Amino acid sequence: MRTHHQANSDAEGFNWHIIKYVLPYVFEYKNRVFLALGFMVLAKLASVGLPFILKFIVDDLDTANNTATALIAAPIALVIAYGFVRFSNVFFGEIRDTIFGRVTERAIRRIGLKVFKHLHLLDLEFHLNRRTGGLSRDIERGTTGINFLMRFMVFNIIPTLLEIGLVIFILFFNYGINFAAITLLAIVAYVGYSIKTTEWRTSFVRMANKADSASNSQAIDSLINYETTKYFTNEDYEAQRYDKELADWEIAKRKNRLSLFVLNGGQALIIAASMTAMMVLAAMQVADGSMTLGDFVLINAFMMQIFIPLNFLGFVYREMKGSLANIELMFNLLAIAPKVVEQPDANDLIVRQGKVEFNDVCFHYHQDRAILKKVNFHLEPGNKLAIVGASGGGKSTLVKLLFRFYDINSGAITIDGQNINDLTLKSLRRAIGIVPQDTVLFNDNILENVRYGKQGASDDEVLHAIKLAHLDEFIQSLPDGVNTMVGERGLKLSGGEKQRVAIARTILKKPPILVFDEATSSLDSKSEQAIMNALKELSQGVTSMVIAHRLSTIVDADKIIVMDSGVIAEMGNHDELIAKGGIYAKLWAIQQQSNSDSP
Ligand SMILES: Nc1ncnc2c1ncn2[C@@H]1O[C@H](COP(=O)(O)OP(=O)(O)OP(=O)(O)O)[C@@H](O)[C@H]1O
Ligand SMILES: [Mg+2]
C-alpha cells in the first residue's frame, strides 16, 4: 500500500499537494497570521536599515578623524541607533514567532486528530497488518515536519526572497550594474546547486526514515513479546535483529550526512567566490576614490545580509524537503481508504425483535482459501444459537462478519430484515455485544475498563455489572480494589479475570444481540457455572450467539450448528443432534467420557 503512494510523490518534484493541504490550517487564525506577518516586515525593515547606519558611522568616523574631535557626537548617536535597530530586528522576530506559535500548535492538533480518527476508521485488516512502532514513528515525524513546514513556509522563504530582491535593487541603484550582476549570478548558481543537490539527497532522507521506522517497529514488537523472549531465552537474537535494523539506519544516515557535506561544501564555495569578487571590485573602487570607506563597509554588510539568509534559505529548502518526506508518510496514512465503508445513504439499524439471518454467506480472507462456503442459518428473536466445531473452522469469523469487520464476498447477513451492508456501522455495532475469545484491556484501572462498555455510566451501574459478572469477590481481595491498574493489554489479570471484565462490560452495554466467543473458556467449572447463570439472566429475551468448545455449556441452546471447514455440517437442538449420531454426538460422547474420567 505504502509503496503505491510513495510512487505518487516522486523524488524529483516538490510536494505541492502537501503544502496545499497544510495551508488551510495556517489560516485558521487569520488575524494572528497577519499580525505575525506585520512583525516580520518590521524585523526585515530593521535588518535592511542596518548596513546604511553602518555606512554613515564609518563615513562620519572617517571625516571626524580628519577634522575636529567635537564632531564625535554624531557617530556615537548613530552607533546607539545601530544598537537599537539591531535589537529591534531580533525582538520583532521573537514577537513574530511567539504570535505564530499558536497557529502551528493548533494545526498540529487538528492534523494529529484527523490522522487518529482516520486510523480508527480503517478496517481490521489494516490494523492486523500494521506495525505499531513504525506507525507511531511516522506520525511523530510527520508532526514535527508540519511544525517546521508551517514556520518556514510563512516566514522564511517568501520574506527572504523579498529581502534579497530589495538588496539587489539597492546595490544596482547605488553602485551600478556590476555589483547587482555578481549578486544575481551568485544567487542563481546557489539556488540551482541547492535544488539539484537536495533532490539527489531526498532518497537518502527517505531511506533513513524507513530504517528508523523499521528499527522502531522491531523494538516495539520485541518488547511487546517480552515474556516470549524470556521463555525461549532469545534476548541475544532479539538484540541482533534490532541491531540489524539499526545498522541499516546507520548506513542510511551516513549517506545522508555525506551528501549533506557535498551540499554545504558546494554552497560555501559559491558564497565565498562571489563575496571575494565583490570585495575585490569594491576595494578597487575605494582605491580609485569613486567609493568611500563607508560604501565598502555597506557593500560588505549587504553581502552578509544577502548570503546569510541565502544560506538559511538553503537550509530551509533542505529541511523542508525532509519535512515533506516526513509528512508524506503520515499523509499516506490518510490516503489509505478503509475497505469496509458505509453506504452514503446508510440507515441506522432498528432492532425490533433481534432476528439474525445468514443467507448463503461466502467469505475468504485470501482469494485462494475460502473460509465460509454458503453458510445459511436463522436465529430467531430471543433464541440462543450455539456454534461448535473444530478449531479454525470459521466460528470467530462468523462473528467478525456480523460486526462487519470484513465485507462478505456473496450472500447476505440481515438483522430484522435489514442487510447489514446498508446500515451505519455505528448503529450496527451498538446493537451487538460481545465477549470475545481473547479479551484485551486498556492500561487503566478495573473500574474504567468495565465502564468502557457504556460511556458515562455511573459508578453504581458499573459496580452492579461487576457484581453480576462475579468479579466482586476477586476485587475485594485486591488492596486497591476497583482502582487496581490492569497493566498493558490487561496482562496483570488472569485469563479468567479478564474474561469476567469483558462480561461485565457487556452486561453494562446491554445490547439487544449478544455474542459469546468462548466466553467462559478460561474459567474453572465452579465460576463457569456461576457466570453461566449470570449470562442466562443477561440473555433473557435477548438474541444470543454462543461459540463453545465445552458442549455442556450449550445443551440448552435452541439451535446448535456444527461448523466443519467452512460449512454447516449439522444443525438442530441437542437431542436431535445426539439422535442423529453424527459429529456432534461423537464430540459429546468424548467429552462425557473425559468428564467421568477426571475425578
Ligand atoms: N485476518 C485473517 N487473515 C487471514 N486468515 C485468517 C484471519 N483471521 C482468521 N483467519 C483464518 O481463518 C480461519 C478461521 O478462523 P476463525 O478464527 O474463524 O476460527 P475458529 O473457528 O474461531 O477457531 P477457534 O475455535 O480456534 O477459535 C482460520 O484458519 C484462520 O487461520
Ligand atoms: Mg475462534
Q: How far apart are CA 489 and CA 235, in angstroms?
A: 22
537 C-alpha to center of ligand 2: Å? Answer: 24
The C-alpha cell of 527 is what? 465460576
DSSP state of 371: E
> Rounded to 5 degrees, what are φ and ψ at 118?
-65, -40
The C-alpha cell of 497 is what? 479475570
548 C-alpha to center of ligand 2: Å? Answer: 9
Q: How far apart are CA 373 and CA 370, in angstroms?
A: 7
Q: Whose CA is nearest to atom 19 of ligand 1?
A: 392
| 453: exposed, middle or buried (Cβ count in 10 Å: 0-12, 13-18, 19+) | buried
The C-alpha cell of 375 is what? 453458510
Neighbours of 382 (CB within 10 A): 16
397 C-alpha to center of ligand 2: Å? Answer: 7
**Coil, helix or strand at residue 113:** helix
Best probe residue, ligand 1, of 361, 365, 439, 517 (max atoms within 8 Å of C-beta): 365
Structural contact between residues 474 and 556, judged by C-beta atoms closer than 8 angstroms:
no
Reading the chain (599 residues) residue by residue, the pLDDT tens digits are 333 333 333 444 556 777 788 788 888 888 888 888 888 888 888 887 888 888 888 888 777 666 655 556 677 888 888 888 889 888 988 998 888 888 888 888 998 899 999 999 999 889 888 888 888 888 888 888 888 888 777 677 777 777 778 778 887 887 888 888 888 888 889 889 988 998 888 888 888 888 988 898 889 889 888 888 998 889 999 999 999 999 999 999 999 899 989 988 998 899 889 888 888 988 998 888 888 888 888 888 878 777 777 777 778 887 888 788 788 888 888 889 999 999 999 999 999 999 999 999 999 999 899 999 999 999 999 999 999 998 888 999 999 999 999 999 999 999 999 999 999 999 999 999 998 888 889 999 999 999 999 989 999 999 999 998 888 888 999 999 999 999 888 888 888 888 889 989 998 998 999 999 887 777 777 777 777 777 787 788 889 999 988 888 888 899 999 999 889 999 999 999 999 999 999 999 988 887 666 54
Which atom of ligand 1 has the smallest separation from the CA of 390?
25
Question: What's the whole-model pTM score?
Answer: 0.79
Pick the CATH number of 2-335 from 2.60.40.10, 1.20.1250.20, 3.40.640.10, 1.20.1560.10: 1.20.1560.10
Q: Whose CA is nearest to atom 17 of ligand 1?
A: 396
Which atom of ligand 1 has the smallest separation from the CA of 406?
1
Which atom of ligand 1 has the smallest separation from the CA of 563?
21
Structural contact between residues 454 and 509, judged by C-beta atoms closer than 8 angstroms:
yes
Q: Which residues line ligand 1 (CB under 6 A)?
A: 128, 365-366, 371, 391-397, 437
Per-residue CA distances from 193 to 173, 189, 270, 471 (Å): 28, 6, 9, 70
Identify the bridge partners of residue 560 per DSSP, sorted by sequence position.
Answer: 386, 572
Nearest to 484 by CA among 470, 465, 497: 497
Q: Whose CA is nearest to atom 26 of ligand 1?
A: 391
The residue extents of the domains of the chain are 2-335, 356-597
The C-alpha cell of 416 is what? 430484522
Structural contact between residues 431 and 414, judged by C-beta atoms closer than 8 angstroms:
no
The C-alpha cell of 163 is what? 529581502
Spatial CB neighbours of 197, under 8 Å, sequence gap ≥ 6: 259, 262, 263, 266
393 C-alpha to center of ligand 1: Å? Answer: 7
Q: Report which secondary-structure segment, H or E, holds 46.
A: helix 30-66
Record: fold of 356-597? Rossmann fold (3.40.50)
